[in-house]
A and B are shown apart, each in its own frame.
Chain A
């Protein structure tokens, strides 16, 4: 087997594995959310399908596959079909640059855990790819030919664009500390210094809030405000196309948790990870579960923001705060000579 074939094979397998992890992650994020939310609300949650209800996501999936798929007569069909794919895809491909660990020896090859750990524009890649998801939502809202969907889509655009600024600015302090845009370098930087949420706590908080808004989670779940907009941009979607939106949302939660863990919680780093590289994915997964737990906990606690407050908060608080954080980080770097 030539070197090129081997490389193509290795990368294809890794991509498939990461995609499968994302999809399983999606399924069990919904389960995790339902169980954790239930416990917060002093209920039990789904516990009937399989042991401890572990087959609940499978049952939900089977149900959605067999549901009838409706397309509104006056919908713009091409965009209507394209929108769920556009929302779903970026969520998964973000995982392409998230490092899962260092290198391991497998089948006589040195295999890097993660698809493209050392991509030198990793952060730019994340920023640009996550922005694509907005198009999916806008297209879904517009092509449905439904006023609720339209309003949901518009709100979503406004929200995601506003919070993307704070998000983008919060990417900068870790980059400044690590001196690199590659996520692998950022993880290495954290192994040398400390997990970045310690020196960069305000940035981590701003980042987390912006991520909540970016993935349309409560209290920023404006685009799908049930009480006002039926189901927001996916009002007209049913069956597997609805499932794709649902999947997109949860996979994005999952992958943004992975990004947050990598930037601020040390990524795959942890005790003995240098000796046992296979601990890397486990550590990263634990950190992702922790972040998802935070998101669910916040959802269970906070009510939804009013739309104007949401915008005001994004532009008047988060954005200046993120800018100040950059200045502070620069000061810290200069003062301590990091």
Chain B
């Protein structure tokens, strides 16, 4: 652009003037929230089966797969009287350190029961350092309609397989 040629300058002025009538792209954040794309990886969720049992069986494969060492899992025994998940064991402690997590989604891939999934939540701020560790209670989904909260008392022998038959494995 030469400053001695006014035409490109006028063209530029016209371009900026046109953008005045465009709709602003700004989102009024706390009131309006951006709809996240399909493959967005936000905070983790621990999923449940339809009957309310937790999918997580405490195998700690996610912790093994985690490249940032952000996951800590401690498993305990299930009994038919106090049953959290199908099979032998459930995760009695499940902690994710959000300051270490890099949201790579390897835990999702490693999980044999598709118990852990990365959701769409992105408002993860906290004002105290200890709140950066998110526990089992924070990660578990709500009990679905028609399901019962864990621990459940179930009829013996019904949920003896850790990894139930999946009709349509993905």
**Contact code string A9-20 (vs B, CB < 8 Å = 1, else 0):** 000000000000
Is there contact, CB below 8 Å, between B26 and A301? Answer: no
**Contact code string A286-298 (vs B, CB < 8 Å = 1, else 0):** 0000000000011
**A313 partner residues in chain B, CB cutoff 8 A:** 3
Is residue B22 contacting chain A, with contact meaning CB distance below 8 A?
yes
Q: Which of B3, B13, B15, B17 has the most CB of A within 10 A?
A: B3
Determine the residue in chain B with the shortest Cβ distance to A36: B20
Q: Taking the nearest CB of chain B, how far is it from the CB of A210, in angstroms?
A: 14
Is there contact, CB below 8 Å, between B19 and A41? Answer: yes
A40-B19, A305-B3 given; A297·B24 CB < 8 A: no
Is there contact, CB below 8 Å, between A297 and B16? Answer: yes
Q: Taking the nearest CB of chain A, how far is it from the CB of B62, in angstroms?
A: 41
Is residue B124 contacting chain A, with contact meaning CB distance below 8 A?
no
Is residue A7 contacting chain B, with contact meaning CB distance below 8 A?
no
Is residue A74 contacting chain B, with contact meaning CB distance below 8 A?
no
Is there contact, CB below 8 Å, between A301 and B16? Answer: yes
Report the bound CA distance from A44 to B9 in whole Å: 25
Is there contact, CB below 8 Å, between B22 and A42? Answer: yes
Q: Taking the nearest CB of chain B, how far is it from the CB of A132, in angstroms?
A: 29
Report the bound CA distance from A40 to B12 in whole Å: 12
Is residue B166 contacting chain A, with contact meaning CB distance below 8 A?
no
**Contact code string B2-19 (vs A, CB < 8 Å = 1, else 0):** 011000010011011101
**B12 partner residues in chain A, CB cutoff 8 A:** 301-302
Report the bound CA distance from A305 to B17 in whole Å: 21
Is residue B35 contacting chain A, with contact meaning CB distance below 8 A?
no
Is there contact, CB below 8 Å, between A298 and B4? Answer: no
Q: Taking the nearest CB of chain A, how far is it from the CB of B47, in angstroms?
A: 39
Q: Which of A38, A301, A317 has the most CB of B within 10 A?
A: A301
Is there contact, CB below 8 Å, between A302 and B9? Answer: yes
Is there contact, CB below 8 Å, between A44 and B13? Answer: no
Is residue A328 contacting chain B, with contact meaning CB distance below 8 A?
no
Report the bound CA distance from A120 to B26 in whole Å: 52
Is there contact, CB below 8 Å, between A40 and B16? Answer: yes
Is there contact, CB below 8 Å, between A301 and B13? Answer: yes
Is there contact, CB below 8 Å, between A298 and B24? Answer: no
Determine the residue in chain B with the shortest Cβ distance to A41: B19
Q: Which of B9, B15, B16, B26 has the most CB of A within 10 A?
A: B16
Is there contact, CB below 8 Å, between A43 and B26? Answer: yes
Is residue A300 contacting chain B, with contact meaning CB distance below 8 A?
yes
Q: Taking the nearest CB of chain A, how far is it from the CB of B7, in angstroms?
A: 14
Within 8 A of A (CB), among B1-54: 3-4, 9, 12-13, 15-17, 19-20, 22-26, 28
Is there contact, CB below 8 Å, between A300 and B25? Answer: no
Report the bound CA distance from A298 to B10 in whole Å: 10
Q: Taking the nearest CB of chain B, how far is it from the CB of A311, in angstroms?
A: 12
Is there contact, CB below 8 Å, between A38 and B17? Answer: no
Q: Taking the nearest CB of chain B, how far is it from the CB of A203, in angstroms?
A: 16
**A309 partner residues in chain B, CB cutoff 8 A:** 3
Determine the residue in chain B with the shortest Cβ distance to A299: B16
**Contact code string A34-60 (vs B, CB < 8 Å = 1, else 0):** 001011111110000000000000000
Is there contact, CB below 8 Å, between B25 and A43? Answer: yes
Q: Taking the nearest CB of chain B, how far is it from the CB of A285, in angstroms?
A: 21
Is there contact, CB below 8 Å, between B3 and A44? Answer: no
Q: Which of A36, A300, A305 has the most CB of B within 10 A?
A: A300
A305-B3, A309-B3 given; A42·B16 CB < 8 A: no
| New contact pairs (8) apart from A40-B20, A298-B13, A301-B13, CB-CB < 8 Å | A40-B16, A43-B26, A44-B28, A297-B17, A301-B16, A302-B9, A302-B12, A309-B3
Residues of B within 8 A of A (CB): 3-4, 9, 12-13, 15-17, 19-20, 22-26, 28
Residues of A within 8 A of B (CB): 36, 38-44, 297-298, 300-302, 305, 309, 313, 317
